[in-house]
Structures are given as structure tokens and as C-alpha cells.
Homo-oligomer: A and B are copies of this chain.
Amino acid sequence: MDTITIKDIAKICGVGVATVSRALNNHPDINPETRQKVLDVVEEYGFVPNNSARNLKKTDSRTIAILVKGMTNPFFMKMIGIMEEEIQVKRYSLELRHVDENTDEVEVALELVKEKKLRGIIFLGGLITHSTEKLEKIGIPFVLSTIPVSDGSEGSYSSVSVDDVAESRKIVDFLIKKGHKKIAFMGAPKSDISIGKLRYDGYIRALEDNKIKPDQKLIWHSEEDADTYSMQNGYDVMNSMLKKKMKFTALFAISDTMAIGALKALREAGIRVPEDVAVVGYDGIDMGTFCAPTLTTICQPFEEMARKTCSILFDVIRHDLAHQKIIMEAKIVERESTGNQEVSIG
């Protein structure tokens, strides 16, 4: 036998390669007993992880990492394209990592910082719920992009986002001004205390502003294990709502992808949009102009957000400028799903 591989270790332990990888990375998502078993075998066989970057001398690389939470949201894909461009123009390289919904992106960042000599990190999505203390451990400049920050951590990192509560309140208020009172809400899993929670808060606030009592029967959350911001999930949640014979004249889905999934379920059920139910989403993805009917939404300035994220990060890295917390404004784009020709309202 020449050198032992991670596959061999997995076979000996009777686990998958991914599990061995988790054990070696001290990943939280592994049973402690399994981790110990793997580490014992690793020691016994004298296995050295292949990716021994951590053992090598670190070079002074000029690398920016982007950690993306939630692969399926096309909103992020556009932003990544723009960021990539900005990073290339500055002659830095880009290390792109997708983090799945159940993985802690700060842990991934800490690991990356250990392995590679990064110059900066952009977190795209996720992250709102981490403590400042934990974030400060990262130790290199980073920007939270599309992630609202409201804590008192002045100065230790930057953020670029819209005000999710205010924007979601704005779009729900728009529905109310059109005469809707029974407005269904399609949100993230109940346990979500991030973007999903903020958009829910905006919904509630718009109702209260207009003296409409929130109706629990109209509030629908995604299943805990759902791929929240996907078309399939919007489709599934709407089908559950329809099965319960919910009565509503409008729907606010917390992402365009979910709204587009909901449109399909409504169509299949013979419910006309906008005649029977008006539908609005959130984000402003291209597909909202190609679905049928086209989708009214609150459109985030994603291009501007992506550029600002990069310019702040480079200002901090290259010119030692102070960190900034930037809040940008989204705007309502009216389309067919609320019975309109396309119009933008500021």
C-alpha cells in the first residue's frame, strides 16, 4: 500500500468520505463519538490530510473569499458576477465557497483564514445571528453583503444591505393601499431569526400601521428542512395553504423565487392572478419579468450593492479606511401579478 487516502480512512471507519472530512476539520456537524473514532484511525494509520496547505508556508497571496449562503437564489448569482469583475480589476483572486443552509459560515470562514492567507472576506447571505465576539475572531477585513446589521459593533466590520423590515413593510403597505385586507404571508421556517424574521416583522408592522389585525391562519412558514428560497418550496407551501382552503386576496412571499413557485400552484388550482389573488415577491430577479403573469416585487439594487461591497472592502484593505454600515433603498416594481402595467415607484 502506498500512501493511505481519505477514502481508505472512510472505509476503515465504515463512514463516508464527507464524515472523515468533517472530523478532520473539527466541523460541528458530526457526532462526537464518530469524530473520535475517525481521529483514532487517522492517528493509528499515520494519515496526513492531503490538503496540507495548513502545513505549508503561507504565501502572500492576494485572495478575497466570497462565502455564499443559499446557492439556489439567482439574486446572488448576479451579485457574484459583478463582484468577480470588481475583484479581477483590482488584480486580486477570488476564492468562492458555497455554504449550505445548515452549515455555520463563520466556522467555514475561520477555517479558510487558517488555511489560506486571505486578504478579505465577503459574506453573501446568512450570518445575521452571529455574535460580534465570534465575528471578531475572523481577524481580517470582511463585509456582510445583503445582511442587515443592527448591533453596536461599530468599526470592526462593514455591511451593505437594504432595511428588510422597512422594505417588506413598504410592499405590504402597497397591497393594503390597493384595497387588500386578507394578505397571506409566505415565509422562512419558524426557527429563522435572520432575513425571514425581518421580512415577517415588516409584514406585521404594515398590517398594524393600517389597523389590520394579523390573522395567524394567513401566516405560513416553510418546513424546517426546506430549501427556503427556491421555486419548489414556494410551490410546496402554496399547495399546503390551498389544501387548508385559506381565504386571501393577496399574497406576500419573502422572495421572488417563492412567489414564482406559488404562481404555479395557484395556476394549477385554477386560481387567477391577479383577478382572484394578487401576488408580490421580494428581490427583483430577472425571472420575475419572464414568468406568467409577470411578478410585482420590491427590487433590491443588487448591482449597486455588489459594487459597494467590493469598494468598501478594498478601501479597508488598501487604504486602511474605516468600516461602514450602508443601508440602501429598494423600490417597488409593479407588474401583472398585481394587475398593473410595469411601473417603478420610488
Interface residues of A (CB under 8 A from B): 6, 17-18, 21, 49-51, 53, 56-57, 59-62, 71, 74, 77, 81, 84, 88-98, 116, 231-232, 235, 260-261, 263-264, 267, 286-287, 289-292
State in angstroms the CA–CA spacing of A49 and B90 once bound together. 10
Contact of A91 among B50, B62, B97 (CB under 8 A): B50
Q: Quick one: given A291-B292, A292-B292, are A91 and B59 in contact (CB under 8 Å)?
A: no
Residues of B within 8 A of A232 (CB): 286
Judging by beta carbons under 8 Å apart, are A290 and B235 in contact? Answer: yes
Selected contact of A59 from candidates B59, B89, B261, CB within 8 Å: B59
The distance in angstroms between the C-alpha atoms of A77 and B231, with both chains bound, is 15
Say whether B51 contacts A18, CB under 8 Å: no
Q: What distance in Å separates the Cβ of A19 from its nearest Cβ neighbour in chain B?
A: 10
Contact yes or no, B57 A59, CB < 8 A: yes
Q: In the bound complex, what is the Cα–Cα distance between A61 and B93 (angstroms)? A: 14
12 intermolecular pairs with C-beta atoms under 8 Å apart: A18-B89, A21-B88, A50-B62, A50-B90, A50-B91, A53-B61, A56-B60, A71-B77, A71-B81, A94-B97, A231-B287, A264-B292
CA–CA, A98 and B92, complex, Å:
14
Q: How far is the CB of A117 from chain B (nearest CB, A)?
A: 10
Query: What's the least CB distance linking A57 to chain B, in Å?
Result: 7
In the assembled complex, the CB of A310 is this many whole angstroms from the nearest CB of chain B, namely 13
Contact between B92 and A95 (Cβ–Cβ < 8 Å)? no
> Is A231's CB under 8 angstroms from B292's CB?
no
Closest Cβ neighbor of A6 among chain B residues: B91
Residues A51 and B93 in contact, CB atoms below 8 Å apart: yes
Distance between A206 CB and nearest chain B CB, rounded to angstroms:
27
CB distance from A234 to the nearest CB of B (A): 9
Residues of B contacting A88 in the complex (Cβ-Cβ under 8 angstroms): 21
Residues of B within 8 A of A89 (CB): 17-18, 21
Asked whether B21 lies within 8 Å of A91 as measured between CB atoms, the reply is yes
CB of B286 within 8 A of CB of A231, answer yes
Q: Which residue of the partner chain B has the closest CB to A234?
A: B290
How far, in angstroms, from A53 to B62 measured CA to CA in the complex?
8
How far, in angstroms, from A261 to B289 measured CA to CA in the complex? Answer: 9
